Structure 1
Amino acid sequence: MEKQIVCINWGTTYGAPYINRLYRMVRANITPPFRFVAFTDVTEGVDPEIECFDLPEMPGFMPKRTIGKWPKSRLWAKELADLKGSFLFMDLDVAITGSLDPFFEFGDEQDVVLARNVAKPLHKLGQTSIYRMPVGALASLQEMFAADPQGVADKYRFEQHFVTKNAPNGIKFWPSGWVRHYRIECIPAFPLNYFLEPRQPKNARVVIFAGGLNPTDAILGQYNDKNPHLPPLQHIKRALGSKRKLKALRQFMWPATWVKRVWEDASLEQEPSSPDT
C-alpha cells in the first residue's frame, strides 16, 4: 500500500527549502511506494517529485492573541485534495533519524495517533509535530473551531490540546522513544549542558523542535537568534546581567553536530542515477 506523507507551509518562515529538505529526509528513511504531498502557498523552487496543492480553506478565521499553530486546522477538512485513507503529517522543521515505516504499521488505520507532549507528561497531551489520521477524522473539530475560532483558541491555546481533548474517538500515542523532543530530551540538563554536546537519542525515529528552538538554532548552539551562541564564560556573563538569571544560565548549549549532519545531508541535491549505473 502506498504511504502518504503530508506537510503544510504558509507564510515566509519556511518555504521551498524546508519542504525539499523534509522530502529528502523522508525519501532516505522510507520503503516505497510513497507519495509526498505539500499543501503550500509557495511552489517556486519546490522539487518536482513533490505533489503541491493549494492551501485548504482556513476554517472561520485565524484567531489572534494565541501561540498555537491554528492554520494546521486546514488539514482537518472532510476532504483533502485527492487523498484517501490515512496519512502521516510532519512539521517542516523535524529531523528524521530512523525508518518511518513503523509509523504506518502501528495501531489501526482508523486511529488518530499523536506524539506525546513530554513538556507536560502528567497531562497526557498530544503533540501534532508528527501525527497520523484518516482523511476527515477531525472534520467535526474543524466545524467546532470554525464556529468560534477565537473562543476555541482562547480556551485551548494550542491546536494540539484541542485535538487531544476533542478527537471523536480519542487519540493514541506513538510508542515510547519513537519521537523525541530536542529541547527537553536532547540538551543535557544544567550544568552538564556546559560540558556535553546535545545528544542524538538512540533508537529515535523523529526528533521534533517544538517550543521555538528550531534545527538552525540547534546547529548554531543557541535558543534563538536574539541570544546568539557565546563561549561558556561569555554566556554566563550575559546571563547574570539578565532579569531571569537562572533561566538564562540554563539556556546554554553547544552546537549540535548531529543535527548539522542530518540537516545538511538532506539539503544536498541528489543527482538522478545514470542509466548505465
Structure 2
Amino acid sequence: MKNIKNVICIKWGTVYSSEDVNKLYGMVTRNSTYKVNFYCFTEDNKGLNENIIVKPLPVLNTIEEYQTIHAYRKEAGLCDDNLGDLKGQRVLFFDIDVVIVGNIDSLFDYPEDDKFYIINDSNTKGDHVGQATCYSWVVGTLGYIKEYYEKNPVEIVDKFYNASQEYLSSKVIEKYGKLNFWPDKWFCSYRFDCMPKFGPLRHFIAPSLPKNMPELKVINFHGYPKPAEAIKGIWYIKKGQNWKKIYKVCKPAPWIKDYWY
C-alpha cells in the first residue's frame, strides 16, 4: 500500500540494546501519521517490541576479518539489492541513537523518484560527505556499493579506515554525480547545535533545543555523548586524555527524556 512506509535500523553486538531499538520504534510511530513497517536487522531479537519486523543481519561476502570491521556492515551491508525482501521499495534508515523531536512525515514525502537522500555532514559541511545518521533510498539501487566493498575490502579500509559514511558517499557521487541532501533545517547535531560551541562554556550552560530551528525533526548523536549520557550530563573521555575535559563536558539535559522513550 502506498501509505505504508518502511523504516529500518541495524543492531549488532552490545553497543545498543533492544530497549534502545524500542525507543526508536516509539519515536518513529509517535511522530508520523503514516502506517510504518519498522524493520530491525539484528542477530539478537530478544526484548524487541512485538510490532518490530526482525530481519537477519546483512552478510558481507568478503575476507573474514573484513566482514564485521568498523561500520561497513551498515554502510555497505545495508545496500544489498535484496535487503529484507524490500527490493523496489523506499526505506528510511535511522541510527539507533537519534532523538526525534518533530513530525517526520516530510522525510517520507520529500524524496523524488529513486534518488538517494542523506544529511549534510556536520563535520565537513560541503557537498561530498553525507552524515549517515539518517538516509533514504530505494532498495535495489545501491547494490554496487556492497559488491565493490566485498571485492575490495582492503583497498577501501586502507583509504577510508572507519569512515564508512565517506565510502558510502563517495560511491553515490561516483555513480550519480552528487549527493542529495535533506533540508538542513530538519536535522541538527547535539554536539554542534544543542551545546555551546565554545568548549569552556559547556561547564556552565546546559544544552537546549536550538531556538532558530522551528522545523527541527531529528537530533543526531554522532560520536559522544549518546542520549542516555547526555540526559545525565556525562561525556566519557578516553584514558590518558583528561585534558580534553576542558571542552568535552556537558551539563545534564533532562528534556531529552520528553522525546526519547
TM-score range, shorter chain: 0.7 to 0.9
* Residue 255 of structure 1, aligned match among 221, 244, 252: 252
Instruction: State which of 181, 186, 203 in structure 2 corresponds to 1:173.
Output: 181
* Structure 1 residues 128-143: aligned runs within 5 Å: 128-143=132-147
- Percentage of identical aligned residues: 30
Quick one: distance in 2 between partners of 1:29 and 1:92? 16
Equivalent residue number for residue 38 of structure 1: 40
**1:37-61, CA deviations, whole angstroms, 9 ceiling, x for partnerless residues?**
1111111111111111111212424
Q: Distance in 2 between matches of 1:91 and 1:107?
A: 19
Q: 1:36 to 1:243 in 2, by over 3 A?
A: closer
- SS of alignment partner, residue 252 of structure 1: coil
**Which residue pairs with 2:222 in the alignment?**
210
Distance 1:160 1:222, change over 3 A: same
The within-5 A match list for 1:145-156 is 145-156=149-160
1: CA distance between counterparts of 2:19 and 2:36?
Answer: 20
Q: Secondary structure at the match of 1:81?
A: helix
Q: Which moved more, 1:187-196 or 1:204-213?
A: 187-196
Could you say which residue in structure 2 is the equivalent of 1:234?
none
Shift of 1:260: 2.7
Aligned length: 248
Letter in 1 for 2:165: Q
Find the partner of 2:31 among 16, 20, 29: 29
Q: Report the counterpart of residue 196 of structure 1 in structure 2.
A: 205
Cα distance in 1 for residues equivalent to 2:44 and 2:237: 25
Residue 221 of structure 1 and its aligned partner are, at CA, apart by 0.9
In the aligned structure 1, how far is the partner of 2:255 from the partner of 2:119? 22
Partner of residue 169, structure 2: 164
1:104-145 deviation per Cα after TM superposition (whole angstroms, max 9, x unaligned): 111313111111111111463101110000002211111110
After superposition, residues 1-277 of structure 1 pair within 5 angstroms as 1=2, 2-60=4-62, 61-63=64-66, 68-72=70-74, 73-83=76-86, 84-122=88-126, 124-157=128-161, 158-167=163-172, 168-169=175-176, 170-190=178-198, 191-201=200-210, 202=213, 203-224=215-236, 245=243, 247-263=244-260, 266=261
Give the TM-score, by structure 1 length.
0.83
CA contact (8 A) 2:40 2:55 kept: yes
Structure number with greater Rg is: 1
| Deviation (angstroms), 1:65 | 11
Tell me how far apart the structure 2 counterparts of residues 243 and 140 of structure 1 sit (CA, whole Å). Answer: 40
Partner of 1:232: none
Give the whole-Å Cα distance in 1 for the aligned partners of 2:168 and 2:241.
36
The 1:45/1:127 distance shift into structure 2, 3 A limit, reads same
Larger deviation, residues 160-169 vs 191-200: 191-200
Structure 1 outlier segments of 4+, above 6 Å = none
Q: Which runs of 5+ in 1 are unaligned?
A: 228-241, 267-277
> Is the CA contact 1:36–1:50 (under 8 Å) kept in the aligned structure 2?
yes
